[in-house]
């Protein structure tokens, strides 16, 4: 692949999703989070590679396929479209979608096996342990005993993670010398304190590694739905070992040295907190064993839980509790941008987030309908009304005059980028919302309708509307990574369509408002939701639209 190597690369990934479970809110949470960062980085001039995909090997998949009377490949092929559709529905701009059953991935995995063998980090042995089929993970006797004791299920041999019954297995296996990497990993966490974010997860990882590392069984002989070892065809690669490699497959590992040099190491792997050991311990050790660089950062987000608005109870989202919320129903209620805004700003990235219908409605109405949407519609209406359907033509020097909005806009892009860049989306959005709130307050303070009564105030009126439009123009740019539909629409309505996709830093300096151009009023960007506890979620939106 040809690249303009002058442009810096920014490579971000999501975990690759298990095809066995249908995509859900948790899955899409990671994808939206990565998409916001990808859009932000593109707007900052990076050449972005945003990768997502599906994790398709393993015994569980083979078993499910058999139950459905399909081959594992057919089964996977039938499930992948749902993942792609969800990405499309949420305006996710992934540049690539990798499937672990693709030829390019087999090649990369087998290449890595050969390198590891050459480097002396894999060896053949035998594995005796307790296997959890649903989790596809082996546990040692000690791990199982401790977990059983803690739970009061002594002697039952239940999975330490999920509590389901384990199977005793003994098989010939290839091992990865993970134990050799304890010191190098601790050194990595010391020298790059941002390698694992947020801090709570870093502490967890560090203490896990300090506790000592065992070698890892990384091949299986009891089933064949996996990638065969290039030098021992009776074995297939353990799913996690296979899955992690997707991050280097996609950038040409072992195939395209130039592409690989440009893209690797990845800047950020986004993962849920449940899979940090794989990403922060095993994966960097694998890379070190292969003589490759480790990624810049692994950011672990929390889990979405569901809060019952009536009882206030917070529970895990699960089918058996009947509280699963599908991404579609939320999009029905809030629209795509509302969905993205809610999850990205109301769930503090890195912590667990209790979501609820009541809270969604509140955030949407307060921030989007009443503040941002209202500011845009009031300002465009006034501009159209007082300036003959156009934006005002401003007096010379207007852009350097002091006013409360330009004061906030000054340095705003830097404050925003610093926060957004470290995934603190709630804080980044709050910076922009400060400007939005100030602009709504400025309307009340300046009372443009009073100024409009006397032609003597024409210059002042133009300044006031000009300042408001300028604050809107800048806010639209800054909100675009989170709300990619409404921001271009706002710019279009204010006659600034040409601004869409501009370099963010350039676009956000005060004083570039297109003057004397036609404005379009348009429908409400975020129609207010009316609360009606009995109404079905989807109906609420209809109710709001009819008002």
CB 381 within 8 A of CB 470: no
Kindly tell me which of 317 and 384 has the beta carbon lying closer to ligand MSP.
317
The reply on whether position 97 binds ligand MSP by CB under 6 A is no
The reply on whether position 487 binds ligand MSP by CB under 6 A is no
Kindly tell me which of 244 and 443 has the beta carbon lying closer to ligand MSP.
244
Report H helices in 347-396.
Answer: 357-363, 374-386
Going by C-beta distance under 8 Å and a sequence separation of 6 or more, which residues neighbour residue 137? 131, 159, 161
Kindly tell me which of 314 and 438 has the beta carbon lying closer to ligand MSP.
314
Rounded to 5 degrees, φ, ψ at 9 are -90, 145
The reply on whether position 275 binds ligand MSP by CB under 6 A is yes
Give the footprint of ligand MSP on residues 19-78 (CB under 6 A): 26-27, 29-30, 55
- Please select the residue that binds ligand MSP; options are 303, 358, 399, 505, rule is CB under 6 A: 303
CB of 508 to ligand MSP, least distance (A): 31
- Please select the residue that binds ligand MSP; options are 108, 243, 368, 464, rule is CB under 6 A: 243
CB of 195 to ligand MSP, least distance (A): 17
- Please select the residue that binds ligand MSP; options are 271, 429, 446, 474, rule is CB under 6 A: 271
CA distance 406 to 417: 18
Alpha-carbon separation of residue 331 from 28, 185, 297, 391, 532 (angstroms): 12, 42, 31, 33, 18
Which of 340, 342, 311, 335 lies closest to 540, judged by CA? 335
Give the footprint of ligand MSP on residues 490-509 (CB under 6 A): none
DSSP states along 3-22: --TTSPEEEEEEEEEESSSP
The reply on whether position 317 binds ligand MSP by CB under 6 A is yes
- Please select the residue that binds ligand MSP; options are 10, 18, 341, 342, rule is CB under 6 A: 18
**Considering only 12-20, 58-66, 130-138, 187-195, which stretch makes contact with ligand MSP by CB under 6 A?**
12-20
CB of 309 to ligand MSP, least distance (A): 19
Kindly tell me which of 304 and 334 has the beta carbon lying closer to ligand MSP.
304
Rounded to 5 degrees, φ, ψ at 375 are -60, -45
CB of 295 to ligand MSP, least distance (A): 12
Q: Is 52 helix (H, G, I), strand (E, B) or coil?
A: strand
If binding means CB under 6 A, how many residues of this protein chain bind ligand MSP? Answer: 19
The reply on whether position 274 binds ligand MSP by CB under 6 A is yes
CA distance 310 to 308: 6
Kindly tell me which of 279 and 540 has the beta carbon lying closer to ligand MSP.
279
- Report which residue's Cβ sits closest to ligand MSP: 272
452-462 b/e (C-beta count within 10 Å ≥ 16 → b): beeeeeeeebb
DSSP states along 462-507: HHHHHHHHHHHHHHHHHHTTT-TTHHHHHHHHTT-GGGTT--HHHH
Which of 93, 75, 77 lies closest to 33, judged by CA? 93
Positions touching ligand MSP (CB under 6 A) are 15-18, 26-27, 29-30, 55, 243-244, 246, 271-272, 274-275, 303-304, 317
């Amino acid at each position: 692949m040809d690249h303009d190597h002058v442009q810096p690369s920014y490579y971000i990934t999501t975990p690759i999703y298990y095809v066995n479970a249908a995509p859900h809110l948790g899955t899409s949470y990671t994808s939206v989070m990565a998409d916001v960062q990808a859009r932000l980085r593109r707007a900052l001039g990076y050449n972005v590679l945003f990768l997502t995909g599906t994790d398709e090997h393993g015994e569980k998949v083979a078993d499910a396929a058999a139950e459905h009377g399909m081959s594992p490949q057919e089964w996977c092929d039938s499930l992948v479209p749902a993942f792609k559709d969800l990405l499309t529905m949420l305006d996710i701009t992934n540049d690539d979608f990798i499937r672990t059953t693709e030829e390019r991935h087999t090649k990369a995995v087998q290449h890595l096996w050969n390198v590891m063998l050459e480097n002396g980090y894999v060896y053949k042995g035998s594995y005796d342990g307790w296997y959890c089929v649903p989790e596809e993970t082996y546990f040692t006797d000690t791990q199982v005993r401790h977990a059983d004791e803690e739970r009061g299920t002594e002697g039952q041999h239940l999975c330490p993670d999920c509590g389901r019954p384990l199977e005793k297995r003994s098989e010939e296996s290839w091992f990865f010398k993970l134990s050799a990497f304890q010191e190098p990993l601790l050194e990595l966490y010391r020298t790059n304190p941002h390698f694992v974010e947020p801090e709570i997860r870093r502490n967890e990882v560090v203490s896990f590694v300090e506790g000592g590392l065992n070698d890892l069984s990384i091949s299986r002989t009891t089933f064949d739905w996996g990638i065969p070892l290039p030098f021992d065809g009776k074995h297939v690669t353990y799913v996690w070992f296979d899955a992690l490699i997707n991050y280097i497959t996609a950038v040409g590992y072992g195939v395209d040295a130039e592409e690989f040099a440009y893209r690797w190491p990845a800047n950020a792997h986004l993962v849920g907190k449940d899979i940090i050991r794989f990403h922060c311990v095993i994966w960097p050790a694998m890379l070190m064993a292969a003589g490759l660089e480790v990624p810049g950062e692994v950011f672990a987000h929390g889990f979405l839980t569901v809060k019952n608005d009536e009882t206030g109870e917070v529970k895990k989202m699960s089918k058996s509790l009947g509280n699963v919320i599908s991404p579609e129903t939320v999009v029905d209620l809030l629209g795509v941008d509302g969905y993205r805004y809610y999850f990205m700003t109301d769930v503090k990235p890195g912590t667990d987030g209790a979501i609820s219908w009541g809270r969604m409605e509140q955030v949407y109405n307060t921030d989007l309908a009443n503040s941002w949407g209202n500011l845009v519609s009031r300002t465009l209406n006034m501009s159209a009304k007082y300036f003959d359907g156009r934006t005002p033509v401003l007096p010379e020097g207007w852009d350097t005059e002091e006013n409360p909005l330009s004061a906030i806009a000054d340095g705003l892009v830097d404050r925003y980028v610093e926060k957004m860049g470290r995934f603190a989306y709630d804080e980044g959005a709050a910076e922009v919302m400060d400007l939005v709130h100030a602009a709504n307050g400025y309307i009340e303070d300046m009372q443009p309708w009073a100024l409009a009564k006397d032609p003597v105030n024409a210059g002042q009126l133009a300044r006031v509307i000009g300042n408001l439009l300028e604050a809107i123009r800048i806010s639209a740019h800054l909100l675009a990574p989170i709300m990619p539909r409404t921001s271009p629409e706002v710019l279009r309505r204010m006659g600034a369509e040409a601004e869409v996709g501009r370099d963010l830093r350039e676009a956000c300096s005060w004083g570039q408002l297109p003057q004397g151009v036609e404005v379009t009023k348009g429908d409400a960007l975020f129609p207010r939701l009316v609360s009606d506890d009995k109404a079905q979620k989807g109906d609420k939106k209809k109710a709001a639209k009819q008002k």
